[in-house]
A and B are shown apart, each in its own frame.
Chain A
Amino acid sequence: MSFTLKKIGDAVVVDVEGQLIVGNRQELKQKVLDELEKGERKFLIDFAQTGYIDSSGLGVLVSLSKKIREHGGELRLADLNDDLQTLFELTKLDTLFQISETRERALEGF
């Protein structure tokens, strides 16, 4: 499992490879907070290569979204497979995030 960050246009795009769970959520949180600290404000997390997410992983996304908004920025999500989409619907987190089918769509108008 790993997190890769790259800049596309004005946005920082994070690829989540593998799982986002209790054992690695802090690593993702710290990487995004470091970029926020450096002045980045637009973030996109791409789940195209993600297996599953547990409640700790969901919690980190919620907490990052809040933090980024407090700094006048935005966190968007993209490329959720059917299972991840179900997970977001079960927890109603699909109402909290802007979720796009693809990275390209998420970056449009960002």
Chain B
Amino acid sequence: MTPSYVALDVEIPSDVKQIEPIVSLVTEHCRKLHLSRRQCSLNIPVALSEALSNAIICGNREDPQKHVRLRATVSDTALVFDIVDEGRGFEMSDVSNDPTTEESIEAEDGRGVFLMRKLMDRVEQFKGPNNVVRLTLNR
């Protein structure tokens, strides 16, 4: 197994205004890891924003008493982001809509999970006491 280390482990309040600064911090770290320009400026910021936004809005219902934890683990082969909220979350496996169809293209919502799946190599959800969404991007 490839050795890995925790590059970042932070908690943010359930406020969507917190997303941009934390994503900016992560992408800065990613640039230092010499990931591709596209991974740093598209895949990671967009997928991470979607996951954090889901955690804050759907998971914690924007409750200021609740927090979202972001843990980033790095190995030679992959970056793994665990996004943990304190809510029940939503069932990601239920989200199978294709927002690119003629019927859905003009919908305002419904592209978040689609984008995470398109921009990451793996998107998983683990339910326990908390809701965990794990994003994996191969290096």
Distance between A76 CB and nearest chain B CB, rounded to angstroms: 17
Determine whether B75 belongs to the interface, using a CB cutoff of 8 Å to chain A. Answer: no
Residues of B within 8 A of A56 (CB): 53, 112
Residues of B within 8 A of A93 (CB): 105
Proximity bits, A52-65, B CB within 8 Å = 1, else 0: 11111011101100
Shortest Cβ-Cβ A-B pairs, 3 listed: A55-B111, A83-B42, A92-B100
Nearest residue, chain B, Cβ from A60: B108
Proximity bits, B40-55, A CB within 8 Å = 1, else 0: 0110011001100100
Q: Could you say which of A52, A53, A66, A90 contacts B118, with CB atoms under 8 Å apart?
A: A90
Q: B interface, by DSSP: helix, strand, loop or mixed?
A: helix
Contacts A23-B16, A83-B38, A91-B100 known; A52 to B105 CB distance under 8 Å?
Answer: no
Q: List 30 A-B contacts (CB under 8 A).
A: A23-B17, A23-B19, A23-B20, A51-B45, A52-B41, A53-B46, A54-B50, A54-B53, A54-B112, A54-B115, A55-B110, A55-B111, A55-B114, A55-B115, A56-B112, A58-B111, A59-B108, A62-B108, A66-B106, A82-B38, A83-B38, A83-B42, A86-B38, A90-B115, A90-B118, A90-B119, A91-B99, A91-B111, A91-B114, A93-B105
Known A-B contacts: A1-B20, A91-B115, A92-B105. Give 20 more (CB < 8 A): A21-B20, A21-B53, A22-B49, A23-B20, A51-B41, A51-B45, A52-B46, A52-B49, A54-B53, A54-B115, A55-B50, A59-B107, A59-B108, A62-B108, A63-B108, A86-B42, A87-B115, A90-B115, A93-B105, A95-B105
B residues lining the A interface (CB < 8 Å) = 16-17, 19-20, 38, 41-42, 45-46, 49-50, 53, 57, 99-100, 105-112, 114-115, 118-119
Give the complex CA separation of A8 and B111 in angstroms: 32
Nearest residue, chain A, Cβ from B37: A83
Q: Which of chain A's residues 75-110 have a Cβ closer than 8 Å to chain B?
A: 82-83, 86-87, 90-93, 95-96
Give the complex CA separation of A60 and B50 in angstroms: 15
Residues of B within 8 A of A22 (CB): 16, 19, 49, 53, 57
Residues of B within 8 A of A58 (CB): 111
